[in-house]
Amino acid sequence: MKMKCIIVDDEPLARKGLQEYCTDLAYLQNIESFESAMTAGTYLTNHPVDLMLLDIRMPKLSGIDFLRNLKTPPLVIFTTAFPDYALESYELNVIDYLVKPISFERFSKATQKAFDYFLLKQKQTEADYFFIKSNQQLEKVPFNEVLFVEAMQNYCIIRTASRKLICYITLKAMQEKLPADRFMKVHKSFIVSLDKVTAIENNFLRIETSLIPVSRNLKTEVISKITESKLLKR
């Protein structure tokens, strides 16, 4: 199994060096390289990617601003000549922060960390359940039982038909645990199970007896994802 990887860096020599490093690692597949964040963003809208090697200081759009604006980013390793963004980058949950010039040993260590995390996510998806700590114990939660997840500051409430689990975890971290093809963040405070939605009512989704708000800027995308061309028209 390989991770599909893209490189985003405005320096041709930096891209070439990272491409060569990727070639030497059996678990990496460098599928594309881009000289700007904007062209990479266009590519990501239509192509699934597991890992992004991302420069920070680039013309027009920095790597940090680019990452902040991605709705469902892949795993990210920053590759930069400037060490002063490290603290800011870790607030974005990146896998690692590599300062140029990057040795192969350091690159290998960072990408191996990403690959280990990638494999863990794959196993969780294949297992069709996850464990979460709630009320001082680990609870097993099948994906198909989750109705929606609601954020409360640094906590989340996981709602199923029979349970309400309060967990010390951010919504972003919770989103990473859930399969992207079955769950979607529809609001800054809510993730829903797409196949549990029974109605779309103005700017709300109905799931059993609950109404979940949908962000206005996401409404079109949410409706498209839920209906998936199954919408009957006159």
Specify the CATH number for the domain of residue 54. 3.40.50.2300
**213 lies in a domain?**
yes
Do 24 and 103 belong together in one domain?
Answer: yes
Domain boundary among 86, 108, 126: 126
Q: DSSP for the chain, please give it.
A: --EEEEEE-S-HHHHHHHHHHHHT-TTEEEEEEESSHHHHHHHHTTS--SEEEE-SS-SSS-HHHHHHH-SS--EEEEEES-GGGHHHHHTTT-SEEEESSPPHHHHHHHHHHHHHHHHHHHHHHHHTEEEEEETTEEEEEEGGGEEEEEEETTEEEEEESS-EEEES--HHHHHHHS-TTTEEEEETTEEEEGGG--EEETTEEEETTEEEE--GGGHHHHHHHHHTT-----
Number of domains in the chain: 2
Model confidence at 58: pLDDT above 80 = yes
Q: Domain residues for 150?
A: 129-227
The pTM (predicted TM-score) of the whole model is 0.59
Say if residue 122 is in the same domain as residue 154.
no
The reply to whether 102 and 209 lie within a common domain is no
pLDDT-derived band at 126 (thresholds 50, 70, 90) equals low
Regarding whether 190 and 179 lie in a shared domain, the answer is yes
pLDDT digits (tens, 9 = 90+) for 140-166: 999 999 999 999 988 999 999 999 999
Domain end call among 126, 151, 175: 126
